[in-house]
Amino acid sequence: MSTAKRVFELQQVEQAVQTRLKSLDDLNRQLAHNEAFEKASTELADATKNQAELEKQYKELDWEAEEIRRNLIPVNDKLYSGRVKNPKELLGYEQEAEMLKARLGKKDDVLLDLMEKIEAGKGSLKLLREKFAAAERVWQQEQQELKGQIELLKAELADLENKRKEALAEVDREALTSYENIKKTKGQAVVRVEQGRCMGCRVMLSVSELQRVRGGTIVTCSNCGRILFLN
Ligand SMILES: [Zn+2]
């Protein structure tokens, strides 16, 4: 095998490694989070918090209404027991009872409104829990698949690493040094020659260049500096 072909094969193995490393990166990024699941999770958390807040408001208001009802008992007692005879005093109790009833009425209106909101909230919470559970199932499934793909890629990478070592052992030190140097500046160090052109820069090679390339030794393109490989 010519030196140029050996370097070319080393490059192919290295490029295959790079492609898989990039895929591995993509898969790990996908594994890090899932938009649909996170959205469902946030929606459920927000709705749960909102519902708890409504229930807390209801409890507090209900307690306040209960207190008004308790305060109303002795006032009503004085009004209707017949024990209080003084009209002025009776009028005072009547006014107090009216005031308490009006306050109670307002609280009851708000309580009713809150109760409706709580009931509606229960319905949407149920839906959001179902949505969350479904998103969680899908996400778990996806995670399994992603993990499977990652395992596969890792196995391929281990295999490629062995191939890379083998290919490296085949390349002589001098060729390897120029390969590494060109790779640093050009990215792709070895390029094919097709129809007399360097496929790295598309420039036509001279006859003497082509002849040297055919010899299989390390020849670099006089235009772009890459190692030329003719199959
Ligand atoms: Zn070139």
Look up the CATH architecture of domain 1-30+172-231: Orthogonal Bundle (1.10)
User: Ligand 1 centroid vs 202 CA: distance in angstroms?
Assistant: 6
3-state secondary structure of 51: helix
Contact partners, residue 201, CB within 8 Å, separation at least 6: 221, 223, 224, 226
Report the chain (231 residues): mean pLDDT per 10 consecutive residues.
93 97 97 95 98 98 98 96 93 97 98 98 98 97 98 98 95 94 96 96 95 92 96 85
User: Ligand 1 centroid vs 12 CA: distance in angstroms?
Assistant: 18
User: Ligand 1 centroid vs 178 CA: distance in angstroms?
Assistant: 15
* Token pair 């409504």: residue: 54
User: Ligand 1 centroid vs 226 CA: distance in angstroms?
Assistant: 6
pLDDT at residue 231, as a whole number: 85
* Token pair 């919470």: residue: 125
Contact partners, residue 195, CB within 8 Å, separation at least 6: none
User: Ligand 1 centroid vs 225 CA: distance in angstroms?
Assistant: 6
User: Ligand 1 centroid vs 208 CA: distance in angstroms?
Assistant: 15
Compute the distance between CA of residue 195 and CA of residue 218 in angstroms, rounded to an integer.
19
User: Ligand 1 centroid vs 193 CA: distance in angstroms?
Assistant: 9
pLDDT at residue 216, as a whole number: 84
Contact partners, residue 149, CB within 8 Å, separation at least 6: 27
User: Ligand 1 centroid vs 172 CA: distance in angstroms?
Assistant: 23
Choose which CATH entry (2.40.10, 1.10.287, 1.10.3470, 1.10.3210) describes domain 33-169: 1.10.287
pLDDT at residue 133, as a whole number: 98
**What is the side-by-side order of every strand in the sheet holding 227-229?**
197-198, 190-194, 227-229
Residue extents of the structural domains in the chain:
1-30+172-231, 33-169
Compute the distance between CA of residue 229 and CA of residue 212 in angstroms, rounded to an integer.
11
Same fold flag, 1-30+172-231 and 33-169? yes
User: Ligand 1 centroid vs 220 CA: distance in angstroms?
Assistant: 8
